[in-house]
Structure 1
Amino acid sequence: MALSLPNNPDLERFRRDARRLHRGVRSADEHALELVVKHHSEGTAAELSGFTLSDAQLVVARSYGFSSWPRLRHYLDIAEPLRRDPTKSPTSEDPVDAYCDLACLQFSQADDPHRWFQARALLADNPELSARSVYAAATAGDRGAVAAHLAADPSLAHREGGPFRWSPLAYLVYSRVPQDDTVGTARLLLDHGADPDTGYLWQGLPPPFTALTGCFGEGEQGPGRSPRHPAGMPLARLLLERGAEPNDGQTLYNRMFNRDDGHLSLLFEYGLGTGDGGVWRHRLGDALESVEEMMGRQVRWARSHGFTDRLALLAEHGFVPKRAGSRGFRAPSIHRAGSVAAVADVVGLGADVDEAQGGRTALHHFAWIGDVEMVQALVDAGANPDVVDATHGTTPLGWAEYGRQPATAALLRPLTAPLSVE
């Protein structure tokens, strides 16, 4: 089930929504009536005076993707203890918490290499941090310090704490500072009972951000701001060997934006696309996409973006895209060119190399994710490096710089005219 919940959802907010909708329907408000028609089985056929608060609650629940008000309430009850908001970690003068905070991905606009440099400097100035806290020790990948903490208290392997209320294993995989012994520290934690499926609901929203999510990185902030863990593949393999669920919706989403399929190949080894979704599906039920829905999203994205190698990999494992009906010739979209060769092919068939999709061109997208080969191919095909996107009003060079992608920025910089300031 695809949900459309607001960040940090809470029951009182939905109660207010229902009361507002109830009043709106009773007063024949146009927007309120449209919601009822869309989400209530009886629409507006019933007398408006008979539209109850329970009816309004049903409409509110369905508008957010739930089949009923009790289902919405049930999700909130389950989600509350799993909710974390890394973007609002409490400010602390304790260097232990500050180190863990600065070192780890938040998957927000705050993610930036500068924070990790600050964390490194903080640890250099306070080398005792790992000895003071198992969470700092895990963040640093300090196997010796973690071993000392576990010798004193083995339950620390799965106890949540630190600035984000994560387990030590979560700090290890979400950390982006240099680590002493990453895989060895992870293995030690797992040997002492750490959960390979440890994770949390980012601002209370599904799907969960799991340990695998931390290993594989990337996502909406791009690979420059939310990079993969340097030891992400061996870490992920270890977690999967120890039973981590391969049907990880957040990982699949975060890594679907670029052409690399290494994560899919590894996850397929351990059962991606099979089973019932594992422990997180059992916890959250229909609030999570089913395995079939999850894989269908991957197929649709790969097809719409011309990722032919990914489509072949998905088809090899039984996930085949549905063929669209033919309605005569139509020039292909440059946004469906998922390889260097495909750029020339679709341009040859009449594709507009500067076509905007979602307000930005293909050159914007590949500059942001740091794909030098695709940026060069688009430029060679005549893409305009001076075009600005509809949301931020900046060039592909601006996207590369924001995404902390020095290679594509270096390629575009001499080709891009300075933006005029009016």
Structure 2
Amino acid sequence: MPTRRLPDDPNLDHLRKQAKRLLTELRVDNPDATLAEAQLATARSYGFPSWPRIVHHLELVDRYSRSPHRQSIGGPLDTPEQRADEFLKLATLHYGQDDPARQRAAQQFLPEVAQSNIYTMVVAGEIDAVRRNLSQARVEGGPYRWEPLLYLAYNRLDAPNQVEIARLLLANGADPNAGYLWQGMPSPFTALTGVFGRGEGDQPPHRNRVELARVLLEAGADPNDSQTMYNCGPGSPPPYDEVHLELLLEFGLGRGDGGPWHERMTTTHPTPQQLLEDELVFASSTGLLHRVELVLAQGIDPDNRGTEHPGFGGHRAYEFAAVQGFTEIAELLRAHGAAPLDDLHELYAAVWRGELPTVDAALAARAIAKDPHLPLRAAETGRTEALEPLQRLGFDLNLMTHSAPIHRAALNGHLETVRRLIELGVDPEQRDPMYGGNALGWAEHNNQTAVAAYLKGLPQGTGTR
């Protein structure tokens, strides 16, 4: 396993500089050390067996990287090509500033642009025009340099003939595993990913998600789709269903070699087994009993901690379930061989119940070091009773990652949790580093009107500013 992860959108020049810095360090003790040795050590630190292998990986990232969210909307629309591109940008999901208003705006370009090119034909549902242009079934183009099948999968218009057009494209050479790397990130956004939607911003699925997903899988799409698993799991808020999981399991999720994207991304991409291990940890942490049953039926070890995703904090599935009081899941995991709780997790369980047993300073320090992100999880899930015990143990209720506990509580509409955080001294005006939003902004972003009304009514200067 690699000792560290490559950054998202990795850069070859950055790695070359790392290798040169390492060479300088090596020559302190070994004046004969070579650049090739430093490059090999750098590659191995990221889990690659050689420098040429990591260079090849970066070349693949560059080849498949796309940034559709950075394509600006508006501007000159003087030519038919510009209007066709604008229509495609408005009609498709790109995980940037996605909003249903964009799809409504896209309709204003119809029927003018519907037959401008193979991509607009697909998105508009112009099946007869698509039939006349099937020689372009695998040609990349349009504003995002996607294949036609990707524009169809990420289409969010209420367009006709989507399943039939998908079958036509696939029968004429379209790749069922078509996808791209969103801003160079290692988890591919495939056609399946687009069909199932959700993820950041809880984006809607394609209106034909089940039929289209089945068509793609029957045509050879690999079911070990890491971004779909994330988007329909930890990457989106509740409510959850198991439609994607049942369908992917039917076609072999958790088995096989991981398909073409795993081959391309190698150590930066989870194995089929790791996808199921992560799913078990996520489902157990969220109280999703049927998901736990589905994954355990595949023979997954309940004590495996998954792929060390930072959001899981290194906890086992049973530890999540038992600590958070998901009794039926906890009993099921124990019946499948999960080990009991250790002293740290017994302490976490007490805190989650709103208790704070007498503990020595060493155990409290271990508890914080093991998982400093517990306040984030408590706020996100509305565990108001856990907040004061966490603070007394020494946890930071203002902890900031890409967001703070109060942001997550506001986003998910946990009014009492927001109120209690502020009573305990948390500043509602602290800003997240990515969007610069305060608690009110996060509440309004997710239409949490009760939380927003409460925050607007706070006296000026509330919190720890």
Contact 1:305/1:337 (<8 A) preserved: no
CA distance, structure 1, for counterparts of residue 156 and residue 60 of structure 2: 30
Contact 2:149/2:178 (<8 A) preserved: yes
Would you say 1:413 and 2:452 are equivalent positions? yes
Aligned-partner residue type, residue 234 of structure 1: E
Partner of 2:20: 19
Write the mapping of 1:253-292 to structure 2, written as runs, cut at 5 A. Answer: 253-257=230-234, 258-259=237-238, 260-262=240-242, 263-292=244-273
Q: Which has the larger displacement, 357-366 or 229-238?
A: 357-366
Change in Cα spacing, 1:234 to 1:6, as seen in structure 2 (3 Å) is: same
How far did 1:236 drift? Answer: 1.8
Partner of 1:136: 120
- Which one scores higher on RCO, CA 8 angstroms, separation ≥ 6? 1
Look up the SS of the partner of 1:237 in the other structure: helix
Q: Deviations over 1:30-65 (max 9, x none)?
A: xxxxxxxxxxxxxxxxx2423321222123323434
How far did 1:132 drift? Answer: 0.7
Change in Cα spacing, 1:324 to 1:78, as seen in structure 2 (3 Å) is: farther
How far did 1:134 drift? Answer: 1.5
Select which of 85, 95, 106 maps to 1:97.
85
Contact 2:409/2:418 (<8 A) preserved: no
CA distance, structure 2, for counterparts of residue 363 and residue 227 of structure 1: 26
Q: Deviations over 1:322-367 (max 9, x none)?
A: 136522731426569999xx978x9599975998576567774365
Partner of 1:32: none
Contact 1:83/1:203 (<8 A) preserved: yes
- The count of residues paired between Structure 1 and Structure 2 equals 379
Aligned-partner residue type, residue 117 of structure 1: A
Would you say 1:73 and 2:73 are equivalent positions? no
Aligned-partner residue type, residue 108 of structure 2: A
Partner of 1:112: 98
How far did 1:245 drift? Answer: 1.1
How far did 1:277 drift? Answer: 1.0
How far did 1:130 drift? Answer: 1.4
Q: Percent identical across equivalent pairs?
A: 35
Contact 1:123/1:129 (<8 A) preserved: no
Look up the SS of the partner of 2:257 in the other structure: coil
Would you say 1:321 and 2:302 are equivalent positions? yes
Look up the SS of the partner of 2:216 in the other structure: helix
Change in Cα spacing, 1:95 to 1:149, as seen in structure 2 (3 Å) is: same
Change in Cα spacing, 1:15 to 1:296, as seen in structure 2 (3 Å) is: same
How far did 1:22 drift? Answer: 2.5
Contact 1:197/1:244 (<8 A) preserved: yes
Write the mapping of 1:125-164 to structure 2, written as runs, cut at 5 A. Answer: 125=109, 127-140=111-124, 142=125, 145-151=126-132, 153-164=133-144
Aligned-partner residue type, residue 342 of structure 2: S
Q: Report the TM-score, using the length of structure 1 for normalisation.
A: 0.75
How far did 1:390 drift? Answer: 6.4
> Unpaired segments of 5 or more residues in structure 1?
29-46
Would you say 1:205 and 2:185 are equivalent positions? yes
CA distance, structure 1, for counterparts of residue 26 and residue 245 of structure 2: 48
> Unpaired segments of 5 or more residues in structure 2?
304-338, 353-373
Partner of 2:227: 250
CA distance, structure 2, for counterparts of residue 248 and residue 314 of structure 1: 15
Change in Cα spacing, 1:80 to 1:98, as seen in structure 2 (3 Å) is: same
Contact 2:61/2:181 (<8 A) preserved: yes
Q: Report the TM-score, using the length of structure 2 for normalisation.
A: 0.69
Aligned-partner residue type, residue 365 of structure 1: R
CA distance, structure 2, for counterparts of residue 304 and residue 50 of structure 1: 52
